[in-house]
Amino acid sequence: MLAKWKLREVIVLSVLAVVFAVVYLLFLQLGNVLFGLFGLIGYDIIFGIWFIVSIIAAYIIRKPGAAFLSETVAATVEVMLGNAVGPQLIISGMIQGLGAEAVFAATRWKNYSTWVLMAAGMGSSVFSFAWGFYVSGFAALSPGYVTAMFFVRLVSGALLAGLLGKYLSEGLAKTGALNSFPLGKEHKRNVTV
């Protein structure tokens, strides 16, 4: 998968993954507060933030595997930094990355419109929720509560991963730091038109 990647793409993906591993750990604290206030659904309110690197990396690099690899590396770094979940978190990261990657694959990695980015965030939501249902015992909860959790996570994936990821990436492109990447070139074309 990485055979056709340039060194700068691997470096940018790695840097993004490390930065967001730290962000993910910080948001875990907010998730704990929301859990204390609202119960398990509290995490779902901000769950989309834990998919954001897959959207950003894919939107910037635009190559097969960017979403999956960035989320997997971020989860690995997060475990090394001390996330209490441990190595199981790496599997969760892989599954979240696969959810976004599946959406980009459906477009043959050619469409990075706002709607596709939001759908990729929702793809991560669906995959992560299915995994969470399997490992976290959601079946013991009332069907109505589980349904509410699922829909809240879908919205969070669309907004926090998809939309916020798009705007953060475009903000970075405006600095000129991404001029050698597809998103940076696209931004330069739009500015000169």
User: What pLDDT digit, counting tens, does each position of 77-128 carry?
Assistant: 999 998 888 899 999 999 999 999 999 999 999 999 999 999 999 999 999 9
Residue 13 pLDDT > 60: yes
| Between 188 and 60, residue with greater pLDDT | 60
Query: What pLDDT, in 10s, does the model give residues 145-192?
Result: 999 999 999 999 999 999 999 999 999 999 999 999 999 998 888 877
Q: Select from 51, 43, 50, 69 the least CA-distant residue to 152.
A: 43
Report the Cα 64 to chain-centroid distance in Å. Answer: 15
Angle of helix 88-106 relative to helix 52-61, nearest 10 degrees, comes to: 40
| Average pLDDT estimate for 57-80 | 97
Amino acid, single-letter form, for residue 68? F
Band the pLDDT of 193: cuts 50, 70, 90.
low
Q: What is the C-alpha separation between 49 and 157, in angstroms, rounded?
A: 7
Q: Dihedral of CA 141/68/34/87: which sign?
A: positive
User: What is the structure's pLDDT at 92?
Assistant: 95
| Between 193 and 75, residue with greater pLDDT | 75
User: What is the structure's pLDDT at 84?
Assistant: 82
User: What is the structure's pLDDT at 64?
Assistant: 96
Band the pLDDT of 2: cuts 50, 70, 90.
low
User: What is the structure's pLDDT at 189?
Assistant: 84
| Average pLDDT estimate for 32-46 | 96
For the chain, the straight-line distance linking the first and the last C-alpha, in angstroms and rounded, comes to 35
